[in-house]
Chain A
Amino acid sequence: MEKLFETFKLAIITLKANKLRSSLTMLGIIIGVTSVILLVSIGSGLKGYITGQLEGLGSNSLFVMPGNLEIKPGGGGAGGTPGAGMTASKFTLNHIRELSQRATTLQAVMGYSENNGTVSYGGESETLQVAGVSYEYPQVRNQYPSQGTFFNVSQQEAGKKVTVLGATVAEKLFGNEDPIGKKVTLSDNKFTVLGVLEKKGAFGSVDMDNQVFIPFTTALTTFDMDKVQSIWIQAKDSTQITQAKEETEKILLRTLKEDDFSVLDTGSILSVISQVLGVLTLALAGIAAISLIVGGIGIMNIMLVSVTERTREIGLRKAVGATPKIILTQFLIESIVLSVSGGIIGIIFGVGGSLAMKRFIPTGISLWSVLLAFSVSVIIGVVFGVLPAGRAAKLNPIQALRYE
């Protein structure tokens, strides 16, 4: 034990004597560990955020998408409708009416569409996403107007030119002015502002409050469409989600073919998204792990140089009583100290970096990635240290002492 402690102290002294060399050697491990932790934390943060968003919709939500989307992951944006617009939609207002009238297990049936449009007021003009939604939107998304009101069922039925602004839009166009009752121009039409929705916050660089909401019925005429892009459904009871899904399919099949639509529930969307993100995170971590291996090779390289440089020292140590085992331990500890300190610094950088990034994008530091990165750096120290240390231990003391 005493000898081991001395060997450890010696390794520190030796590494300190070559500060630049030691830190450059550690750099490979530092970069590797940092990137593994960062990428995994971004991946799991993203997954957590999206899962949270979807769960916020409630476990009683169903989405009717155009085309056959079975098992295929939705390609839609975060918080928007996954898969929207992938296949030409065949949903009409009749389908929505039929669903809300015939179905017994459904509570709310909403048309939904997304379009890009330009909204202007006074001299200000903004190009942004225009969401065509139903009057139930606030209840379904749990996002209520902070000023004014949302449009009601009769305004929707009549296809009135009314709009509710996202918080960011309201601020940009109106500043301190009260927007309620004002008229904004949207695709050459005048829309009356009914209200402003409360802030939902940013998703990464995407500002979720930078959009405006109009009745989906109005969206059809404004953007000159005859089809609704997708349908959001809320079942009456989350325990009867399967029955609700079957009933929705049954009603739609009366007028549509099987391949024209897909009914997805939050559970299946969630599992697909988390699967995709999980694979993505693993792949990114794998790429980062390559730099760990490169770092390990760097350690081995520098240890081999060190053994050659210190041949005489090794010879002398053997002459005064060091056994091959002690020499092996000495060099092995040196490479482990290099890789482990690199690992610890990498963990500090990785954790610090993901905490710093939390201000811009969701990150979640996972304990397993920290532990994994640390143990991998220990293993790298041992694996890439064995060859140089073994070479040192095997040196013939007489030849080593004569080495110039």
Chain B
Amino acid sequence: MKGQPSSSAKKRNKIRMTTNMPILELQNVGKAYQIDSQKLEVLKGINLEIKKGEFIAIMGPSGSGKSTLMNIIGCLDTPTSGKVIFENRDVSQLSEGDLAQIRNQKVGFVFQTFNLIPRTTALANVELPLIYKGIKTEEREKQAKEVLEKFGLSQRIYHFPSQLSGGEQQRVAIARALVTQPIIILADEPTGNVDSKTGEEIIKIFQDLNKTGNTIILVTHDKDIANHAKKIIKLYDGEIV
């Protein structure tokens, strides 16, 4: 039973190689933690394909494994069983440095708590991934300013996170996720820490981004938010239902 989805996924993969190839493929992915003598399975037999231009919402109650799934998709975490194929590369075969490079250039993270670095300006926060990409100062500044302007933050470039509203902070965080032009954007409860009106604005941003061809994966437990996505995946006790 367990081997079946894996082999069928491989078949699908082969067929689509020439047409619409998935960016990312999870094959029978499981994640388990050993706590004392008890084995805690957070994810069980997950099979998932993400293609370019998709807008997927991952839904489920807290503790259902949403965040773990997102971390595995974003190469922040590795599964304890199964395979993750990121752009034809088996993630389990990659080094720590390779994974850091994928996170840097292929994935954009947006967090519930924004996670901006407090002592640096909005501009410096957006520049951060470009520093790790090795882009020169002037080019870096130009790219970061462009993205910030796109999100209506041109007046806030030199503000520190503490001087920005929640909505503005989250827009800076989205700008940071987009500045490296990733092939996939992962947002973990991006509206969780802002009021509902700002939340709608942020969802609108993701919808617009999706319209211009970006692949978006949104983790949420809010049904109204999830309904904005094109596809909803429901997780319950670590399994897709």
A→B interface (CB under 8 Å): 2-3, 6, 13-14, 17, 312-313, 315-326, 397-398, 401
A316–B103 alpha-carbon span in the complex (Å)? 11
B111 beta carbon closer than 8 Å to chain A: yes
How many residue pairs link A and B with beta carbons under 8 A? The number is 58
Bound-state CA distance A262–B121 (Å) is 79
Q: Which residues of chain B are within 8 angstroms of A321 by Cβ–Cβ distance?
A: 100-101, 103-105, 129, 132-133, 180
Residues of chain A lying within 8 A (CB to CB) of residue B136: 2
Asked if B3 CB lies within 8 Å of chain A CBs, one says no
Within 8 A of A (CB), among B97-144: 97, 100-101, 103-105, 109, 111, 115, 117, 119-120, 128-129, 131-134, 136-137
Task: List CB contacts (< 8 Å) of B73-100 with chain A.
Answer: 74, 76-77, 96-97, 100
4 more CB-based (< 8 A) A-B contacts, given A13-B120, A321-B132? A316-B117, A321-B105, A321-B133, A326-B132
Q: B23-38 interface mask toward A, CB cutoff 8 Å, 1 = contact, 0 = none?
A: 0000000000000000
Given contact pairs A3-B131, A6-B131, A397-B76, A322 touches B117 in the complex (Cβ within 8 A)? no
Task: For A324, give its contact among B96, B104, B129 (CB under 8 Å).
Answer: B96
Q: Does B66 contact A (CB under 8 A)?
A: no
The listed residue (A3, A14, A17, A398) touching B132 by CB distance below 8 A is A3
Can you list 10 residue pairs at the A/B interface with Cβ under 8 Å?
Answer: A3-B131, A14-B119, A316-B115, A317-B132, A319-B76, A320-B132, A321-B105, A321-B129, A322-B132, A325-B97
Report chain A residues within 8 Å CB of B134: 2-3
> Within 8 Å of chain A (Cβ to Cβ): is B176?
yes
- Interface residue? B71 (CB, 8 A): yes
Residues on A with C-beta less than 8 A from B117 are 313, 316
- Residue in A14, A17, A318 with the greatest tally of chain B CB atoms within 10 Å: A318
What range describes how many residues of B lie at the interface? 20 to 34
CA distance A313 to B161 in the complex (A): 13
Question: Which residues on B sit within 8 Å (CB–CB) of A312?
Answer: 115
Chain B positions near chain A (C-beta within 8 angstroms): 71, 74, 76-77, 96-97, 100-101, 103-105, 109, 111, 115, 117, 119-120, 128-129, 131-134, 136-137, 176, 180
Q: Which residues of B contact A322 (CB under 8 A)?
A: 100, 132
Q: Bound complex: CA of A6 vs CA of B124, how far in Å? A: 11
Q: With A and B bound together, what is the CA distance between A316 and B112 in angstroms?
A: 12
| Chain B residues near A398 (CB-CB < 8 A) | 71, 76-77
Question: Smallest CB-CB separation from B97: which chain A residue?
Answer: A323
Q: Does A401 contact B119, Cβ atoms closer than 8 Å? A: no
Given A2-B136, A17-B119, A316-B115, A323 contacting B76 (CB threshold 8 A): no
CB distance A320 to B120 under 8 Å?
Answer: no
Q: Are A318 and B115 in contact (CB under 8 A)?
A: no
Pairs of residues from A and B, 4 with the lowest C-beta to C-beta distance, nearest first: A321-B104, A321-B132, A320-B129, A323-B100
Say yes or no: B109 contacts A320, CB within 8 Å: yes
Measured CA separation A323–B100 after assembly (Å): 6
Residues of A within 8 A of B131 (CB): 3, 6
**A235 to B: closest C-beta gap in Å:** 74
Residues of A within 8 A of B105 (CB): 321
Nearest CB to that of B109 among chain A residues? A319
B157 to chain A, nearest CB (A): 17
Smallest distance from the beta carbon of B158 to chain A beta carbons, Å? 14
Q: CB-nearest residue of chain A relative to B186? A: A319
Q: How far is the CB of A218 from chain B (nearest CB, A)?
A: 81
The closest CB in chain A to the CB of B118 belongs to A313
> How far apart are the CA atoms of A316 and B76 in the complex, in Å?
11
Which B-chain residue is minimally distant from A321 (CB atoms)? B104
Residue numbers in A under 8 Å from B109 (CB-CB): 319-320
Shortest distance from the beta carbon of B240 to any chain A beta carbon, whole Å:
21
Q: Which of A13, A316, A317, A319 has the most CB of B within 10 A?
A: A319
